[in-house]
Amino acid sequence: MILSLLKERFRDALGDLADASRHDELLDLIRRGSDPRFGDYQANFAMPLGKRLGRRPRDVAAEVVDRLDVDDLCHAPEIAGPGFINLRVKDDWLIRRLAAAVGDERLGVGEVGSPRTYVVDYSAPNVAKPMHVGHIRSTVIGDALCRTLRFLGHTVVSDNHIGDWGTQFGMILYGYRHFVDEDAYQANRVEELARLYRLVRQLMDERDEIGSAVLAETAKLHAGDEENLRLWREFLPACEEEIDGVYRRLGVAFDHTLGESFYNDRLGSIVDELIERGIAKESDGAICVFFKGQDVPMIVRKQDGAFLYATTDLATIRYRMETFRPDAILYVVDHRQGMHFDHVFAAARRMGHDRVEFQHVSFGTVLGEDGRPFRTRSGDTVGLESLLDEAVRRAAEIVAVGDDAKPDGPELSAGQRERIAETVGIGALKYADLSHNRTSDYVFSFDKMLAMNGNTATYMQYAYTRVRSIFRRGDVDIEALRRRGVPIVFSLPAERALGLELLRFAEALDLAVLDYRPNQLTGYLFDLANRYSTFFEQCHVLKAETDALRQSRLLLCDLTARTIHKGLELLGIDVVEQM
Ligand code: ARG
């Protein structure tokens, strides 16, 4: 909120000095100061602006500062070096805002002035095969974005565009026909279908004719063959049950699960429309959309009449536009599909969907410790369930060691340990993913993700329990204290630094949705936890010098705990009260 206020004020001050269309770009150069001695925030736009205007940046900075009205918020701005504008927020302003946050469910974070409607397309596994490590990223990033956008007051429609109509069904249809173990199928459909899937995949690698047989089964399904459709309807619930189990464990839920099959009977008319409107044309028997300067077209109908992934995505866009009327559609999908989405978005714009923001929220690959895509020893993709189990198993060890080492002996029951381990294990896995810049690849490491120190969920959850334990030890009724409206006091720099950091929560959320990067939020939480550590080292809380200081510091502790709690919640991660 500080940053957005500063931006507003600077926007007014910039006025006609810069073209209004360039204001945002300049205002983006207002940043948090890197050295607290020079202030809390720094505006660095005078240099590029001076260059553009052919004037000395320092003069431009001086002119802006002259017009700038921040008296209520900051001390007099200082101009440094070539034209940096340094700003220091006034203590009484911080203190007022902190008091407001104490009494506010939302921790002082306002809702956006002009809410938008977002459709978020994420997770979207191809069902009929078990989910694997690659699905973590889309699922976890998409979920965090949905939660954060919603908290900021936007309308969010989450839609799991599952692959429930593709070749993988041809594979299990073929497998079922030839190799099903009826008893095993009756006993556990999910497991038997997974076995058939793996078996057929292996056979396809070995013999080409199996591949053709599978394609034939898929084509029959798409053409409405009754027997294949019947089997497909029988298989699908089992496949959904399988992924739902994973989602339950991850705490992820969708508003809609409209898979590829949902669009099947809309594909023909989309292609007709594309042809009629001159967007697509025939080439070598296939129907294609061509793009300027590109040799490779996007095919929407093959020579044999089959529709493609892209056709389904166009039908999906049409449906979403009509049904949800979104301002933006986000696709949280692997970066390797970049070209596909470029094409789909361009074609959709030609179809008249030119006002909506289409966004491919792409992400990199999960790597093994050897720096290559993460696989099992035998070269298979790593199953998601087994990763969750392993994370929880390791978390259980950490919880047990920690509990056994407590000065007065263990405090947790077996059941408590188990629940804590689940929360800590799954949290670690999610956070590890979210804390990496999504566009980079990252190395999957259980040791790193469960480290008690560092930018991990475990560190954050531990920080949370430590803060909360202060209230228990001091027998503090923190909720009552919140209501009493006692003032926050800055007696030492560490208190002010923590207070300022707490008020940056809103800023971190804005940054996280600005270009859809949850790592802005994890980075913020890490900074916050570190500020808190310093504060806790330097300031006595329960044994504070005066009662007023004690209460003020307890409230800073409480705000820290609540901010960590809320921040983790927006990332889809739970806290525990003890560990
Ligand atoms: N099922 C696809 C895959 O596994 C991802 C779908 C992404 N969403 C979309 N609308 N294309 O590659």
The whole-angstrom separation of Cα 519 and Cα 517 is 5
pLDDT of residue 129: 81
pLDDT in tens, 354-378: 999 999 999 999 999 888 888 877 7
Mutate to test the pocket of ligand 1, among 126, 164, 262 (most ligand atoms within 8 A of CB): 126
Looking at the structure, tell me whether residues 324 and 388 fall in a common domain. no
Tokens of 479: 């909720």
Q: Letter for the amino acid at 225?
A: D
pLDDT in tens, 515-545: 999 999 999 999 999 999 999 999 999 999 9
Average pLDDT over residues 325-345: 97
Mutate to test the pocket of ligand 1, among 122, 157, 161 (most ligand atoms within 8 A of CB): 161
Average pLDDT in the chain: 95
* pLDDT of 271 strictly over 80: yes
* Cβ contact 190:242 at 8 Å: yes
In this structure, is residue 94 part of a structural domain? no
pLDDT of residue 257: 97
The whole-angstrom separation of Cα 457 and Cα 465 is 12
Look at the block and give the residue holding tokens 């990067």.
517
Q: How far, in Å, from the CA of 569 to the mean position of ligand 1?
A: 26
Looking at the structure, tell me whether residues 393 and 489 fall in a common domain. yes
Looking at the structure, tell me whether residues 431 and 491 fall in a common domain. yes
In this structure, is residue 578 part of a structural domain? no
Q: How far, in Å, from the CA of 162 to the mean position of ligand 1?
A: 7
Average pLDDT over residues 85-99: 97
Residue 74: φ, ψ to 5°: -130, 160
In this structure, is residue 241 part of a structural domain? yes
In this structure, is residue 77 part of a structural domain? yes
Looking at the structure, tell me whether residues 390 and 488 fall in a common domain. yes
The whole-angstrom separation of Cα 1 and Cα 24 is 16
pLDDT in tens, 119-154: 999 999 999 888 888 899 999 999 999 999 999 999
Residues with CB under 6 A from ligand 1: 121, 124-126, 161, 163, 313, 316, 331, 333
Tokens of 219: 């084509």
Residue finishing a domain among 367, 396, 415: 367
pLDDT of residue 225: 95
Question: Atom of ligand 1 at shortest distance to CA of 313?
Answer: 10
Best CA proximity match to 328, nearest among 337, 339, 320:
320
Please give the tally of structural domains in the chain: 3
Q: How far, in Å, from the CA of 202 to the mean position of ligand 1?
A: 23
User: 382 falls in which pLDDT band (50, 70, 90)?
Assistant: confident
* Cβ contact 482:554 at 8 Å: no
Tell me the whole-structure pTM to 2 decimals: 0.95
pLDDT of residue 36: 82
Burial bucket for residue 32 (CB in 10 Å: 0-12, 13-18, 19+)? middle
In this structure, is residue 469 part of a structural domain? yes
Output the DSSP codes for 232-277: HHHHHHHHHHHHHHHHHHHT---SB---GGGGGGGHHHHHHHHHHT
Q: Letter for the amino acid at 295?
A: D
| Distance separating the N- and C-terminal Cα atoms of the chain | 33
Looking at the structure, tell me whether residues 361 and 323 fall in a common domain. yes
The whole-angstrom separation of Cα 260 and Cα 255 is 16
Q: How far, in Å, from the CA of 361 to the mean position of ligand 1?
A: 12
The whole-angstrom separation of Cα 240 and Cα 450 is 30
Looking at the structure, tell me whether residues 132 and 70 fall in a common domain. no
Average pLDDT over residues 153-168: 96
Other CB atoms within 10 A of residue 394 CB: 18
* pLDDT of 473 strictly over 90: yes
| Helix (H) or strand (E) run with residue 350 in it | helix 338-350
Question: Atom of ligand 1 at shortest distance to CA of 337?
Answer: 12
Q: Letter for the amino acid at 141?
A: I
pLDDT of residue 190: 87
User: 28 falls in which pLDDT band (50, 70, 90)?
Assistant: very high
In this structure, is residue 407 part of a structural domain? yes
Question: Atom of ligand 1 at shortest distance to CA of 162?
Answer: 1
Which residue range(s) make up the domain with 407? Answer: 384-570
Q: How far, in Å, from the CA of 560 to the mean position of ligand 1?
A: 38
Query: In degrees, to the nearest 5, what angle opens at C-alpha 17 toward C-alphas 15 and 19?
Result: 80
In this structure, is residue 225 part of a structural domain? yes
The whole-angstrom separation of Cα 98 and Cα 92 is 10
Looking at the structure, tell me whether residues 170 and 319 fall in a common domain. yes
Kindly report the CATH number assigned to the domain that includes residue 67: 3.30.1360.70
Average pLDDT over residues 463-470: 96
Output the DSSP codes for 122-144: ----BTTS--BTHHHHHHHHHHH
Best CA proximity match to 164, nearest among 251, 254, 243, 267:
243
In this structure, is residue 579 part of a structural domain? no
The whole-angstrom separation of Cα 410 and Cα 389 is 24
Looking at the structure, tell me whether residues 474 and 506 fall in a common domain. yes
Residue finishing a domain among 38, 68, 88: 88
Residue finishing a domain among 336, 367, 398: 367
Looking at the structure, tell me whether residues 407 and 502 fall in a common domain. yes
Looking at the structure, tell me whether residues 128 and 272 fall in a common domain. yes
Best CA proximity match to 301, nearest among 278, 275, 323:
275
Distance of CA 303 to the CA centre of its chain: 39
| Helix (H) or strand (E) run with residue 458 in it | helix 457-473
Average pLDDT over residues 407-426: 96
> Could you give the angle at which helices 547-570 and 457-473 cross, rounded to 10 degrees?
150
pLDDT of residue 130: 81
Average pLDDT over residues 401-428: 96
Q: What share of the chain is helix, strand, coil (3-state, %, to 5)?
A: 60, 10, 30
Kindly report the CATH number assigned to the domain that includes residue 157: 3.40.50.620
Mutate to test the pocket of ligand 1, among 141, 157, 312, 337 (most ligand atoms within 8 A of CB): 337
Kindly report the CATH number assigned to the domain that includes residue 559: 1.10.730.10
Residue 337 DSSP symbol = G
Helices marked H in 69-207: 91-102, 134-151, 167-179, 182-187, 189-206
Looking at the structure, tell me whether residues 440 and 485 fall in a common domain. yes
Looking at the structure, tell me whether residues 214 and 269 fall in a common domain. yes
pLDDT of residue 37: 86
The whole-angstrom separation of Cα 526 and Cα 516 is 19
* Cβ contact 296:286 at 8 Å: no
Tokens of 304: 């044999």
Burial bucket for residue 278 (CB in 10 Å: 0-12, 13-18, 19+)? exposed
Question: Atom of ligand 1 at shortest distance to CA of 316?
Answer: 10
